[in-house]
Amino acid sequence: MAQPNIVIIMADQLAPHFTGAYGHRSAKTPHLDALAARGMRFDAAYCNSPLCAPSRMAFMSGQLISRIAGYDNASEFRASVPTFAHYLKALGYRTCLSGKMHFVGPDQKHGFQDRVTTDIYPADFAWTPDWEAADERIDKWYHNMQTVKESGVAHATYQIDYDDEVGFAAKRWLFDRARDTTMGDTLPFALVASFIHPHDPYVARPEWWNLYDDRDVDPPAHILAPKDQDPFARRVMDGIEASYKPLTDTETHRARRAYLANVSYFDSKIGEIVQTLEETGTLENTVLIVTADHGDMLGERGLWFKMNFFEHSARIPLVMAGPGIAEGSAPNACSLIDLLPTLIEIGGGDLSILGEPVDGRSLMSLARGETDPVDEAIGEYCAEMTPWPVFMIRRGSLKYIHCDIDPPQLYDLVNDPAELQNVVEDLAYADAARAFAAEVAERWDSAALRADVMATQASRRRLHAVMEAGAGEPWDYTPPRDASTEYVRNTVSWDEASLRFRYPPVSKNG
């Protein structure tokens, strides 16, 4: 069978709970729902670190962040780390990134042959946390409650500008591949279209806001006071100002309505890309994957944004559809690191192609509707608002969360999906709690990891200071563009230009 094309459509900060495909009562996501109906929906998919850049490094590399030192939003993604873009290129694919991937460092392509937009976030070390002052709020670039208070409607924002560009560039690249096919280039393609929505600020255009009315928007199911939070969640509350800048019910409601509106906006981008695949005749031979880098608490438990391992923050949507993909749902726990071996298998390769060990496994057995003995997702958090690493193990129905300075947490997600009962000291779960504690001690050297995190933070803070003073060039990606080769130019005839860019091409038979 010919290698299928691959298109990955990625959201930023999209919790599956707020989509129709995953059962939200009023979310309007017809395009995601349609893909889920004709493909496989993964019901226990997780990010490996609930923060943008670390999650994306794990996604691209198939490796946990502790293996590649991808700790926070200013950690360098080293050029020596192989990614799925490298492997797909080696398997004969033409590869492209349109949109956000939050690469930090001078390598701004990481194996993608084409990159057709800049990133929305900076590529330098400016956002480096400081675990020597872990309880100090980072005011310059950190999340805060004012962002939530300003939620609502606008005709334009930097996020809307960006995602409109990402969608346009992705569609144009797909049309260019179709045009290449008419010229005899039959290479399969792999495109990642990565959008910023529905990430905060929660501001939506009127047409998406007006898809909903107030009755469509539920309040958070459970809100915990600061005194009732576990220590890590309390540190996060302090860091985002939620513990001392309370929101009114109206402010919370407005933010959740705008979030739903932006989920629908993101869904429209899925529809545009699927339509382009249809128009270029490539849909039937394209594996489509829709996912996100992490979720959003959106007021649940009194928390906002991400940066924790509760379900709304750590769980992600994962839907696959296309050739070789069965219709159904997969209950096994899995995570973003599993996508690299999955993509290699889709592309016709095997793990002998790997340049470095990976921590994930292929999900293709689940995608085909078969059984998978593995039911596990691993998480690590080494960024803001904690002075020590935080670990998560999701296995079967149980989720275990550990940080050396905090009491451990154990939740039974079948009996307690809202994670309101920490059963770590419940006698009925004593064996499981002991086994998880022993596994954490064996899997991680928390003190050594903490020392490495702090060493890289110190190094990056000093480097950033001298880079700000002029030592080096900015790393922010500028897409190459040669206007002399675009549209109609004197190097080709008008007729040649018309024929090159018209799709479908004019029939030779008239």
**What does the block give as tokens for 313?**
């923050």
Half-sphere exposure of 66 (CA within 13 A, CB side): 21
Give CA separation, 284 vs 33, 55, 194, in Å.
18, 30, 22
* Dist. CA 22–CA 19, nearest whole Å: 6
Identify whether the C-beta of residue 260 lies closer than 8 Å to the C-beta of residue 18.
yes
Identify whether the C-beta of residue 383 lies closer than 8 Å to the C-beta of residue 58.
no
Cβ neighbours, 10 Å, residue 366: 25
Of 31, 86, 102, 143, which one is the catalytic site residue? Answer: 102
**What does the block give as tokens for 228?**
């009732």
Residue 24: which of 228, 156, 198, 248 has the closest Cα?
Answer: 198
What is the SS3 assignment for 410?
Answer: strand
**What does the block give as tokens for 247?**
């929101």
Of 52, 96, 334, 382, which one is the catalytic site residue? Answer: 52
DSSP, residue by residue, 212-224: --GGG-PPPS---
Q: Give me the amino acid identity at 190.
A: A
Identify whether the C-beta of residue 87 lies closer than 8 Å to the C-beta of residue 457.
no
**What does the block give as tokens for 455?**
């060493």
**What does the block give as tokens for 50?**
């609930």
Its sign, for the CA torsion 446, 451, 457, 459, is: negative
Identify whether the C-beta of residue 189 lies closer than 8 Å to the C-beta of residue 95.
yes
47 catalytically annotated: no
52 catalytically annotated: yes
Catalytic residue positions? 52, 102
